[in-house]
Homo-oligomer: A and B are copies of this chain.
Amino acid sequence: MPIRNTDQIMHKAAWLYYSHGLRQDEVAQKLEISRASVATYLRRARETGIVNITTSTELFTDDVLARELEDATGVTAAWIVPEDRQAMDPTAEMPVLAASAFLELINKGDRVGVAWGRTVYHIADVMPFADLRGVTVVQLCGNLGAPYSYRPDQCTTEIARRLNAEGINFYAPLVLSSERLAEELRGEPVIREQLSTIADCHLALYSVGGIEDDSHLVKCGALSASEMHRMGEEGAVGVIAGQLIDGDGQWINCAHNRRCISADLDSIRAISKRMLVVQEDSKFEPLMAALKGGFASHLVVTTSMARRVMDRWRRDGLGKVHAATA
């Protein structure tokens, strides 16, 4: 990418304004352009990630409930979205919080994995712009066109774009019609190579899906409602990166899972920072399964969900979730 002259001037303006604290008119004078242009450049500088404005998410981790949740379940950090009257709408708040928290967890040079779903897409949509060259964003699961266009590759791409990071997509369908084909495709060098690098990620971002008739997998047509129903009877409780898990968070050896091209669940568990974001109250059971399965080292949930998890965890006398094997 050639360095355009306008980039230079935008960068200079941003530098003088943000790093030296000059006023816009002073910057304009120094650069011999109009103040209006300075304002425009500054906006672009923010949108480009040349200027980063981040707010500590401490507010949401600094909470007795968060501490309790961490202590009880063994997650490394929990962010709790409050639901009191003074707060914002939790549904709007959570993606913003998750995006900020996610950003805080990224280090220079990291490889980060991004999965798929409504939640992840919303996070991508409010992800702050940042200057994270050297970071690589990899797609955790195969593609699937979704009704509201939340395709896995779009999530990855959008996040990579905002972070000025490199995005690595892989172009395989999430589910294939036959196990044989899925197996063959997984064996393809391009695909196999990509899947094998997933365990090298330093950080992953995903939600957990439900298995109701209105679950994402069903709405996207990966599974019919009746198939999903049957899977539920056979022990499926939630969905991680497109794959069904049982109540203990274990991979289910079923037709759907065998037909799936997605990150191996053990690879995901091997990632040291696994950020799980759960918005809907209805995802309580899937969340419990994901927690038990060790899919969360970093958790973003609402106050009420946190309380429910605590209650259940205590009632069942569960221990701490196992840490990443990495």
The residues of A with any CB-CB pair to B shorter than 8 Å are 3, 8, 11-12, 14-16, 18-20, 30-32, 45, 49-56, 58-59, 62, 86, 88, 93, 96-97, 100, 107-108, 128, 131
Contacts and interface: CB of A to CB of B under 8 A. Distances in A.
A96 B58 contact: no
A313 to B, nearest CB: 26
A59 B96 contact: no
B53 A58 contact: no
B100 A56 contact: no
B16 A53 contact: no
B62 A56 contact: no
Given A3-B62, A31-B86, 13 more contacts: A14-B55, A15-B55, A18-B55, A19-B97, A19-B128, A30-B88, A50-B58, A51-B53, A51-B56, A52-B53, A52-B54, A56-B131, A58-B131
A276 B5 CA distance: 30
Nearest to A106: B108
Given A58-B11, A107-B107, A20 B96 contact: yes
Contacts of A8: 59
Indicate the member of A50, A56, A96 with the most B CB atoms within 10 Å: A56
Contacts of A128: 19
Given A31-B86, A88-B16, A56 B11 contact: yes
21 contacts: A3-B62, A8-B59, A11-B56, A11-B58, A12-B59, A15-B55, A16-B88, A18-B53, A18-B55, A19-B55, A19-B96, A19-B100, A20-B88, A20-B93, A20-B96, A30-B88, A49-B56, A52-B52, A52-B55, A53-B53, A107-B107
